[in-house]
Amino acid sequence: MAKSNPPWTLGQLAELLQGELHGPADLLINGVTSAGSADAESIAFAETDEYREKAEQVPLGALLVGPGMTASVPYIVVPAPRSAFFALLSWCDRPLQTGEGVHPTAQVAASATIEPGASVGPFAVVGEDSVVEAGSVIHAHGFVGDRCRIGAGSVIYPRAVLVQDVILGTRCIIHPGAVIGAEGFGFVWDGKRRIKIPQVGGVTLGDDVEIGANACVDRATAGQTRIANGVKIDNLCQIAHNCEIGEHTVIAGACGITGSVKIGARCVLGGGVGTNDHISICDDVILGGRSGVDRDITEPGAYFGTPARPIGEAMRAFVLIPKLPEIWSRLKKLEKKVGE
């Protein structure tokens, strides 16, 4: 389907999505919204009756539904409402605007290379020996320090910082306020005070990596902190020095991954997960939100809790925490009875 910007008529949408129209063809739809969010000029989607009911409770322009479903607002029946909705989302996407070439206020070091087709915004800084490849965008206030490489088609959002020695693959997205390549946190105590261990390594990101807003990825003490292809890291996460994160792993908001931790491929970390230093987590591990991983995980599967354990076991323990007072009183009662 070709991109079609809003506004649409409902009839146009039915045609574009190859769906079945139930409602006025000339109804104007200005955008998309989520089920349950009031917006009389937008279209939402519902795969189930539960979501349809949620959507119908507030003013809504129209609804995308699945085969066999109806709705109390104008609707279009499509084979896969979610996919159809994603198409609409992409048609509504209006990326943050950027100028062509290097903005006159940007500071680009003489030894840096800005490839043709790259865009460098107002007040952006590009340091010594750095390379910004074709089709990349460094938005306003982006800071790219010395010896960095921004792979083709990457986007550095406003105020993201690549301190130094940071290598990005192609099509990476660095969200606002993210800091990549700051010094790792390493000191030795000499008996009187802490002496800084020089942090001289770098950070290497693969292709299609996303780093969330105000997240931090420190550079290695020596060598590289490595984030593999396809990894997605959410806002406010901390990835300490010398970590290695495997391909296509997803790390939700506010996780704290401590120094030299290895996480395998295709893992999914819920929000607020923390780890012990120097542990390894194998491929295909799912960690429930706020889990605390105290040791290596060597078997794929779902884990949860602090300490993190296989999820079935962990959930059985988790629901018993509020029962501790009952356990305690029943134990004392039993002691009394047995004592008698």
Strand partners, 271: none
Distance CA 232, CA 229 (A): 9
User: Hunting for tokens 């479903």 — which residue is that?
Assistant: 69
Q: Which region among 16-24, 68-76, 112-120, 236-244 touches a copy of itself (by CB under 8 A)?
A: 236-244
Whether residue 213 contacts residue 219, with contact meaning beta carbons closer than 8 Å, is answered with: no
Q: CB 25 → a copy of itself: shortest distance, Å?
A: 23
Q: CB 334 → a copy of itself: shortest distance, Å?
A: 6
* 163 counts as binding a copy of itself under rule CB under 8 A: yes
The gap between the terminal CA atoms of the chain, to the nearest Å, is 80
Antiparallel, parallel or unpaired: β 20-22 and 75-77: antiparallel
User: Hunting for tokens 């939700």 — which residue is that?
Assistant: 252
Per-residue x/- track, 45-74, a copy of itself (CB under 8 A)? ------------------------------
- The answer to whether 241 is a known catalytic residue is yes
Residue tagged active-site, from 22, 175, 241, 278: 241
* 117 counts as binding a copy of itself under rule CB under 8 A: no
Which regions of 52-150 does DSSP assign to beta strands (E)?
60-65, 75-77, 101-102, 107-108, 113-114, 119-120, 125-126, 131-132, 137-138, 143-146, 149-150
Q: Which region among 8-16, 29-37, 47-55, 71-79 touches a copy of itself (by CB under 8 A)?
A: 29-37
* 335 counts as binding a copy of itself under rule CB under 8 A: yes
* 300 counts as binding a copy of itself under rule CB under 8 A: no
Q: Which of 113, 290, 300, 302 binds a copy of itself (CB under 8 A)?
A: 290
Whether residue 296 contacts residue 277, with contact meaning beta carbons closer than 8 Å, is answered with: no
User: Smaller CB distance to a copy of itself: residue 69 or 179?
Assistant: 179
User: Smaller CB distance to a copy of itself: residue 68 or 233?
Assistant: 233
Task: Return the structure tokens found at 108.
Answer: 């680009």
- Kindly state the helix (H) or strand (E) to which residue 47 belongs, with its residue range: none
Phi, psi values for residue 105, rounded to 5°: -85, -10
User: Smaller CB distance to a copy of itself: residue 68 or 112?
Assistant: 112
Q: Which of residues 216-235 bind a copy of itself (CB under 8 A)?
A: 216, 218, 220-224, 230, 232, 234-235
Peptide bond into 7 cis (omega under 30): yes
Task: Return the structure tokens found at 143.
Answer: 């800071």
* 212 counts as binding a copy of itself under rule CB under 8 A: yes
Per-residue x/- track, 80-99, a copy of itself (CB under 8 A)? -----xx--xx-xxx-xx--
Q: Which region among 17-25, 31-39, 46-54, 61-69 touches a copy of itself (by CB under 8 A)?
A: 31-39
Per-residue x/- track, 188-207, a copy of itself (CB under 8 A)? x----xx-xxxxxx------
User: Smaller CB distance to a copy of itself: residue 113 or 276?
Assistant: 276
Distance CA 308, CA 303 (A): 6
Peptide bond into 307 cis (omega under 30): yes
Active site residues: 241
